Chains A and B, each alone.
Chain A
Amino acid sequence: MLAGWTYQLKQKRHLARCQHGRMREYLRAAAPCRKADFRQGSYLAVDLEMTGMEADSDHILSIGFVPIDNMRVMLAGARHILVSSPLGVGQSAVIHGIHDRDMVGASALSEAMDCLLEALQGRVLLLHYAALDLAFLREASQRLYGVPLLAMVVDTLVLENQRLQRNSTGQHGQGLRLSDCRRRYNLPDYHAHNALVDAVATAELFLAQVAHRFGREHAPLARIISG
């Protein structure tokens, strides 16, 4: 786990290496406080749709995000950005329902990432199964800004896994997919599948998880951060 001082050290190192205005502004912003109660933190729930699973060969198709302030999901701050891909949508259209014809007017990856960085500034990055999305975001950041994306991350899949292990009475096969997790908290099924809906779904899942895990108990942000 990344300690507070390590994070700040990395901020400095990245700043020294990066000339890109947008990223420099992002790196200069104060990081979320790891010692403060997690309820005081601001979050940005993010979901990506990609052409495949390989960060070095596949592409981001769309980015959806929604902020959480004061433990409330704020739809007014939600965005859904389609990203133009150099190769076309290809096979993944079957999964995401995004077709080449929908991509007219899509943003370049650089614009999309600028927009994401602006929203993420000062916030904790909230993802479900962070490893996959992070790989794509780091790759894109490296390519566009010359540094990987630096963020404090909360992974709802990790939180769920911890809960299942804590409550472990030998139950196996408890699904960890977003929809499986949501069902355990009496959260509604969202049928339509896109990056924004999944970002909202992740945000809601997060609120449910921490309500169940902590109730009114004080807990520093550090306790739920994955990296």
Chain B
Amino acid sequence: MTVSVEVAAIREFLAGCPPFDELPAEVLGHAASKVQIAYYRAGDPSAILDYSSPRLYVVRTGAFEVRDSEGQLLDRVEPGGYFGYPSLLTGDAITNQLTVIEDGLVYQLDGDLFQELRSASRPFDRFFNRAHANRLRHAVRFREQSYQLTRRVGDICSREPVIASVDQTVTEVARLMTAERVSSVMVVDGGGRLCGLVTDRDLRIRVVAEGRSADTPLADIMTTDLVSVSAESLVFEATLLMTEHNIHHLPVLRDGNPAGMMTTTDLIKAQKADPVLLIGEVGHQETVAGLQRVSRDIPELLGSLIRAGASADQVGRLLTTVTDALTRQLIHQAMGKLGAAPTAFAWLAFGSQGRQDQAAISDQDNGLLLSDGATGEDDSYFKALATYVNDGLDRCGYKYCPGEVMAITDRWRQPLADWKKQFLGWINQPSTKALMHASIFFDMRCVFGDKALFANLQKTVCNAARGNEIFLANLTANALKLTPPMGFFKHFVLEHSGEHKHAFDMKLRGIMPINDIARIHALAAGSTEIHTLARLREAATNRQISLKDARNLIDAHEFISRLRLEHQGAMLKAGSKPDNYLDPKTLSSLSRHQLRDAFAVVTSAQAALRVKFTRGLM
């Protein structure tokens, strides 16, 4: 008797879903033969997740949304995507909820089989661990609005607790506080429970002023009438407590154990780190000096976003929102001084500000688009406006563009007709050389001014670029010059020049190539989308690239951007000037593996780009 229990169609589908493609053939066959299949209908409110037995769900058709118990969207799952793995990995009960957005078929693997596959294949195991880590990052309760109100004490508490034992002496604790550079310590009893608090002030008032000996045990001088707070409490509650009791130090407990000390300094920092407040502040500044002062808090904002685990995409959008607000406020200030504009105009942002993916260091990339009626006299107004804004941005930390792509430069402050001529020149008579520095212009966004004027220019550009093979071929030829350093892992090398000889430029060799790929696909389709991840998603929707490739590129972009953010966050914390250079020695082996995966994704997408756009032309 011939018994074949494998359904080829199901095996093939799984084989196309990473990490199933990494499974040895016989293990894949075994997994495919154990699949269970269910069908879910859109809008069916019944819980799909089987709470009694966690399993891995693989979406075959349809679309699903995963939300946490509070309804916050964690993930949107489409064909080839997964859900249900967090509880399989952690063993915790299922708390997330699932919504069916579009009817679909879901393959399910039971928990035992999932564990079997994890032990059979390291890449399989690693894939789901990483997916889980990503999900956690996105899950961090990070909401732009009401940020301050929803933050927890544990998120802003700046350091580990400094702890003394109740039988230590005053001298010992004074030394400890000096060494740790803190103004207070938490005192614990023999069982490790918090029993008191000693501050600088206690040492002054209860020891020195009362003439006690240096051998006095802490028990005699510590404050025992304690107010403390749980790490899970809202920052808002902690602030109330401190005000109410007029105290500057608040012990933070987690499960009853000392977890940290919250101080008034932490609170002030936390406030600076609130993007909503910061942007609100920007809007109140009447002078450049005022904006300069407010923008000093941007590094603190960045640090807190990184600590809060925001995704690189969220951070990029937020930082850009701040830059946009500063730009607008500078324009308002300039118009306050110069009077109303003589004709319609639009302030354009290019490059990373255009794409909304700014990081810790950003140069200016901007321009002014004037209505066609603008006269020479009008231009002197706009030149003065541009000077004010460009100088203001420079003082706020956005350095002058080394390539002079700024509104202050005459060439980048032009009436609509001239901007069109400029773009059509790039598009219709392209040369690789002319396009070399032009790519940032194709990531343009209107930050202030006449939206219709901008839309007019954008439409001309999109129509001219759509399907323009020669232009796209030239753009592609440029894009292919920047490749991920695949040799990186062999030799741990290297930018060729300068002080960063042994480092990898994450922006130039990692993030830019993905931006380039996204831009070329968007232009090929005549799309007005400028955000890199949105461009990639759109390219997948238009079937310019496969969904799998789009997802891989999005993940690679997020991963490298996140690596860059963490690097920059660490440099800011150390008080040094952030840069884009990653020293390979600082990478954990897991990050190295992931970086290698990310490079491979970019390299293969570049190869596909070459085939698609330079065929026979380059």
Contacts from A to B (Cβ < 8 Å): 71-76, 78-82, 105-107, 111-112, 115, 185-188, 190-192, 196-197, 200, 203-204, 207-208, 211-212, 215-216
Closest to B62 in A: A186
Contact between A79 and B5 (Cβ–Cβ < 8 Å)? Answer: yes
The answer for the CA separation of A73 and B34 in the assembled complex, in Å, is: 10
The answer to whether B374 has its CB under 8 Å from any CB of chain A is no
16 CB contacts below 8 A, A to B, read A71-B38, A72-B38, A73-B38, A75-B33, A76-B33, A79-B5, A107-B1, A115-B1, A186-B62, A186-B104, A186-B105, A197-B7, A207-B38, A208-B39, A208-B103, A216-B46
The answer for the CA separation of A186 and B40 in the assembled complex, in Å, is: 11
Minimum Cβ distance to chain B for residue A48 (Å) = 15
Contact between B41 and A75 (Cβ–Cβ < 8 Å)? Answer: no
The answer for the CA separation of A192 and B9 in the assembled complex, in Å, is: 7
The answer to whether B10 has its CB under 8 Å from any CB of chain A is yes
The answer for the CA separation of A207 and B40 in the assembled complex, in Å, is: 8
Minimum Cβ distance to chain B for residue A204 (Å) = 6
**Per a CB cutoff under 8 Å, which of B4, B35, B39 touches A196?**
B4
The answer for the CA separation of A71 and B105 in the assembled complex, in Å, is: 12
**Per a CB cutoff under 8 Å, which of B2, B4, B38 touches A107?**
B2
Q: B residues 90-126 with Cβ under 8 Å of A?
A: 102-105, 108
The answer to whether B61 has its CB under 8 Å from any CB of chain A is yes
**Per a CB cutoff under 8 Å, which of A75, A81, A185, A186 touches B10?**
A75
Contact between B2 and A186 (Cβ–Cβ < 8 Å)? Answer: no
Interface residues as binary, B69-108 with A (CB distance below 8 Å gives 1, 0 otherwise): 0000000000000000000000000000000001111001
The answer to whether B591 has its CB under 8 Å from any CB of chain A is no
Contact between A75 and B34 (Cβ–Cβ < 8 Å)? Answer: yes
Q: B residues 203-259 with Cβ under 8 Å of A?
A: none
The answer for the CA separation of A107 and B3 in the assembled complex, in Å, is: 10
Contact between A75 and B5 (Cβ–Cβ < 8 Å)? Answer: yes
Residues of A near B32 (CB, < 8 A) are: 75
Contact between A80 and B3 (Cβ–Cβ < 8 Å)? Answer: yes
The answer for the CA separation of A107 and B62 in the assembled complex, in Å, is: 39
Minimum Cβ distance to chain A for residue B380 (Å) = 62
Contacts from B to A (Cβ < 8 Å): 1-5, 7-10, 13, 32-41, 44-46, 60-62, 102-105, 108
Given contacts A186-B103, A188-B13, A216-B44, could you give 16 more A-B pairs where the C-beta distance is less than 8 Å?
Answer: A75-B10, A75-B36, A76-B34, A80-B3, A81-B1, A106-B1, A111-B1, A185-B103, A186-B61, A188-B60, A192-B8, A196-B5, A212-B103, A215-B41, A215-B44, A216-B45
Contact between A211 and B5 (Cβ–Cβ < 8 Å)? Answer: no
Closest to A194 in B: B8
Contact between B105 and A211 (Cβ–Cβ < 8 Å)? Answer: no
**Per a CB cutoff under 8 Å, which of B3, B7, B103 touches A81?**
B3
The answer for the CA separation of A192 and B10 in the assembled complex, in Å, is: 11
Minimum Cβ distance to chain A for residue B471 (Å) = 37
Residues of A near B102 (CB, < 8 A) are: 186
Closest to B61 in A: A186
Minimum Cβ distance to chain B for residue A223 (Å) = 18
Closest to A212 in B: B41
Residues of B near A107 (CB, < 8 A) are: 1-2
Most buried by B among A79, A82, A188, A192: A188
Residues of A near B3 (CB, < 8 A) are: 79-81
Residues of B near A197 (CB, < 8 A) are: 7-9
Contact between B61 and A188 (Cβ–Cβ < 8 Å)? Answer: yes
Minimum Cβ distance to chain B for residue A68 (Å) = 9
Minimum Cβ distance to chain A for residue B468 (Å) = 35
Contact between B2 and A204 (Cβ–Cβ < 8 Å)? Answer: no
Residues of B near A72 (CB, < 8 A) are: 36-38, 108
Chain A interface mostly helix, strand, loop or mixed? mixed
**Per a CB cutoff under 8 Å, which of A105, A191, A204, A212 touches B105?**
A204
Closest to A192 in B: B8
Residues of A near B4 (CB, < 8 A) are: 80, 196
Residues of A near B8 (CB, < 8 A) are: 192, 197
Contact between B1 and A105 (Cβ–Cβ < 8 Å)? Answer: yes
Contact between B2 and A81 (Cβ–Cβ < 8 Å)? Answer: yes
Residues of B near A112 (CB, < 8 A) are: 1
**Per a CB cutoff under 8 Å, which of A76, A106, A200, A212 touches B2?**
A106
Minimum Cβ distance to chain A for residue B207 (Å) = 71
The answer for the CA separation of A191 and B13 in the assembled complex, in Å, is: 12
Closest to B103 in A: A186
The answer for the CA separation of A190 and B37 in the assembled complex, in Å, is: 15
Shortest beta-carbon contacts, A-B, top 10: A73-B37, A207-B39, A107-B1, A190-B9, A211-B41, A72-B36, A75-B35, A208-B39, A186-B103, A80-B4
Contact between B9 and A204 (Cβ–Cβ < 8 Å)? Answer: no
Contact between A187 and B35 (Cβ–Cβ < 8 Å)? Answer: no
Residues of B near A71 (CB, < 8 A) are: 38
Most buried by B among A75, A105, A192, A203: A75
Residues of B near A187 (CB, < 8 A) are: 39, 61, 105
The answer for the CA separation of A200 and B5 in the assembled complex, in Å, is: 11
Closest to B110 in A: A76
The answer for the CA separation of A78 and B9 in the assembled complex, in Å, is: 14
Minimum Cβ distance to chain A for residue B57 (Å) = 12
Residues of A near B9 (CB, < 8 A) are: 188, 190-192, 197, 200
Minimum Cβ distance to chain B for residue A115 (Å) = 8
Contact between B37 and A204 (Cβ–Cβ < 8 Å)? Answer: yes
Minimum Cβ distance to chain A for residue B7 (Å) = 5
Closest to A80 in B: B4
Most buried by A among B13, B39, B61: B39
The answer for the CA separation of A74 and B110 in the assembled complex, in Å, is: 11
> Are A75 and B7 CB-contacts (below 8 A) given A82-B2, A185-B103, A186-B102?
yes
Residues of B near A111 (CB, < 8 A) are: 1
Residues of A near B34 (CB, < 8 A) are: 75-76
Contact between A80 and B5 (Cβ–Cβ < 8 Å)? Answer: yes
The answer for the CA separation of A137 and B107 in the assembled complex, in Å, is: 30
The answer for the CA separation of A196 and B32 in the assembled complex, in Å, is: 14
Residues of A near B1 (CB, < 8 A) are: 81, 105-107, 111-112, 115
Closest to A105 in B: B2
Minimum Cβ distance to chain A for residue B421 (Å) = 49
The answer for the CA separation of A73 and B108 in the assembled complex, in Å, is: 10
The answer for the CA separation of A30 and B104 in the assembled complex, in Å, is: 34
Closest to B63 in A: A186
Most buried by A among B1, B40, B44: B1
Minimum Cβ distance to chain B for residue A45 (Å) = 11
Contact between A200 and B7 (Cβ–Cβ < 8 Å)? Answer: yes
> Are A207 and B37 CB-contacts (below 8 A) given A72-B108, A186-B61, A188-B105?
yes
The answer for the CA separation of A102 and B38 in the assembled complex, in Å, is: 32
Closest to A112 in B: B1
Residues of A near B46 (CB, < 8 A) are: 216
The answer for the CA separation of A172 and B197 in the assembled complex, in Å, is: 83
The answer for the CA separation of A196 and B33 in the assembled complex, in Å, is: 12
Residues of B near A207 (CB, < 8 A) are: 37-39
Contact between B37 and A211 (Cβ–Cβ < 8 Å)? Answer: no
Minimum Cβ distance to chain A for residue B258 (Å) = 49
